[in-house]
A = this chain, B = another copy of it.
Amino acid sequence: MRIISARGLGRRFGGRPVLSGVDLDLDQGGFLLVTGPNGSGKTTLLRLLAGLLAPTSGSLEVVADRNRVGFLGHESLLYGELTALENLDLYGRLYRVPERRERTGMLLERFGLWEARNERAATYSKGMLQRLALCRTLLHDPELLLMDEPFSALDAEGVDLLHAELADHGPRTVVVASHQPERIAGLATERVALG
């Protein structure tokens, strides 16, 4: 089943074209790797797919309802003044996650944040924040996963954890933008090189 299909997709910021004529097709369970130099439009593309930006040209169709999409951007989308638990609890409520507490605890455990669960996110180190952002993204077990440089700031262990998570994605459709394709070497079924 076709999840993403784009035709001549383009986006301009204040007149300056950033993306143009991008064609994309991704079926369910597919794994798309987006590559390209700095400023080539990877983030823009992912934000288009997530619906945070609207295309200025071309057509884009994403077949997935909002509560089954997980988006990991450059920014953590977390509240610095809230603790890890409070942050995940908020998103858990908004996404109607069943057994919120259990799932939250399980994720924090897996990503090694359980000890720090009651610290304010603002006091987290960069990598810890990235891990917490990963928990946030996976919290509602999304069908469509959009990840912008998910490996950034992660240590070796974190990289392995994420790799494992991505490896057995099963029916899940994944789009990853990264500067280190080697890290998800085996996984990608499709590739788009921008810029």
Residues of A bordering B, CB below 8 Å: 13, 36-39, 43, 74, 112, 116, 123-128, 130-131, 149, 152-158, 179
Contacts and interface: CB of A to CB of B under 8 A. Distances in A.
A154 B39 contact: no
Nearest to A18: B125
Given A39-B116, A116-B39, A154 B125 contact: no
Q: Which 7 A-B pairs have the closest CB atoms?
A: A38-B127, A37-B155, A39-B125, A38-B155, A74-B126, A39-B128, A155-B179
A105 to B, nearest CB: 19
A88 to B, nearest CB: 18
Contact of A37 (B74, B152, B157): B157
Given A39-B116, A74-B126, A179 B153 contact: yes
Contacts of A112: 38
Contacts of A13: 123
A73 to B, nearest CB: 10
Contacts of A154: 38, 179
Contacts of A130: 38
Contacts of A179: 127, 153-156
